[in-house]
Amino acid sequence: MSALFAPRTFPDVHFHILREQDIAAVSCVESDVYAFPWSEGNFRDSLLAGYRCWGCWSGNELIGYAILMISIDEAHLLNLAVTKHWQRRGVGRHMLQFIMDEARKSHCVMLYLEVRPSNHAALRLYAATGFRQFGMRRDYYPAQDGRENALFLGLELV
């Protein structure tokens, strides 16, 4: 882990496994944060597939979520978002640390993800956490002018 990565603690913030009844709230956050959001069906499919779907809550308010797919000894972070109101407060780091811990508890040795090269805030977070680029997926994301590549990043968890 990078020495630069020192997540703050948030005593009023807690994590719970997402349920079917949380999908509408998750979808609202997703639509507010991303120009090309996942659909409610994407989240429902993630739940049905058995992915680790976590909500981050402050009291009764959903402030973020993460979708983690685990396969044998690898984890793939499929989606992570923080509501605009809670961004730039360290919540994303806190959530990422939680996801890394969950992956380790499942005996994963690597955590992978894709990120848009244009998502500078996410790139700073992942770099500070110790992720490194393993490749690029061409035309991975929809974009205003067609498609955008994705950077394929990974982090050793051992």
Give the full edge-to-edge strand order of the sheet including 52-58. 13-17, 52-58, 61-71, 74-82, 110-115, 146-156, 132-143
Of residues 6 and 157, more confidence is placed in 157
pLDDT score, position 9: 62
CA separation for the pair 84, 104 (Å, rounded): 28
E strands, 1-158, are 13-17, 52-58, 61-71, 74-82, 110-115, 132-143, 146-156
Query: Which residues contact residue 36 at a Cβ distance below 8 angstroms, ignoring those fewer than 6 apart?
Result: 141, 142, 143
**Where residue 12 falls among pLDDT bands split at 50, 70, 90?**
confident
Provide mean pLDDT across the span 112-132: 96
- Separation of CA 154 from chain center: 13
Q: Which residues are catalytic?
A: 114, 126
**pLDDT of residue 156 exceeding 50:** yes
Residue 1: HSE in the Cβ half-sphere, 13 Å Cα cutoff? 12
pLDDT score, position 142: 93
What does pLDDT average to over the chain? 93
Tokens 């994705």 belong to: 150
Tokens 């977070």 belong to: 125
Which domains are assigned to the chain?
Answer: 13-156 (3.40.630.30)
Q: Quick one: residue 79, left, alpha or beta (phi over 0 = left, psi -120 to 50 = alpha)?
A: beta
**pLDDT of residue 8 exceeding 90:** no
Provide mean pLDDT across the span 100-120: 97
**pLDDT of residue 5 exceeding 50:** no
**Where residue 11 falls among pLDDT bands split at 50, 70, 90?**
low
**pLDDT of residue 4 exceeding 50:** no
Q: Quick one: residue 94, left, alpha or beta (phi over 0 = left, psi -120 to 50 = alpha)?
A: alpha
